[in-house]
A = this chain, B = another copy of it.
């Protein structure tokens, strides 16, 4: 792969997609797809998710440049105010894996999908995320998604976008459709 760390033109930043609107994970996916067009490699770690998402099969079919891995329980997104031992172990394993992949220099972009929610539900401390970011090499871009982004992370990130829900058809009793929302 193109060794972006030695590409002086490229500096990797920290991006956050947060808020109660749609499009956070989707924007991270789109970013990975756009990057793939330039031969950049993305590691996409999904916290809390263990579902069979469309993005998984799409990526497996379409790209050798995007690796996606899930650290959540099988089934629906599992979030609760009181996470149990398994939730915490899975999330911690995920963060270790993301750290390892970031250090491997095999990827240009590291996505920590739903990590903000994981912090909100006490699967990590904010400090653990900052420790992770402390280890970010210059030439690697880190994308953190999920509502409830902590203030200290917003402070630290270079780019923060809030996806704000203006209108949502779910509220009218329509289920998530395979290939569109999931």
| Oligomer: number of copies | 2
Smallest distance from the beta carbon of A156 to chain B beta carbons, Å?
Answer: 10
Smallest distance from the beta carbon of A137 to chain B beta carbons, Å?
Answer: 16
User: Which residues of chain A in 21-59 are interfacial with respect to chain B, using CB atoms and an 8 Å cutoff?
Assistant: 21-40, 53-59
The count of chain A contact residues (Cβ–Cβ below 8 Å) is 62
Smallest distance from the beta carbon of A154 to chain B beta carbons, Å?
Answer: 6
Smallest distance from the beta carbon of A46 to chain B beta carbons, Å?
Answer: 13
Interface residues of chain A: helix, strand, loop or mixed (majority): mixed
Binds B, one of A71-79, A98-106, A173-181: A173-181
Q: List 9 tightest A-B contacts by C-beta distance, closest first.
A: A37-B58, A38-B179, A30-B30, A29-B30, A23-B27, A26-B30, A37-B57, A160-B166, A21-B161
17 new A-B contacts, CB < 8 A, other than A62-B62, A162-B166, are A23-B163, A26-B26, A30-B31, A33-B33, A33-B62, A34-B53, A34-B58, A37-B60, A37-B62, A38-B179, A40-B179, A62-B63, A109-B180, A141-B180, A158-B174, A162-B164, A163-B164
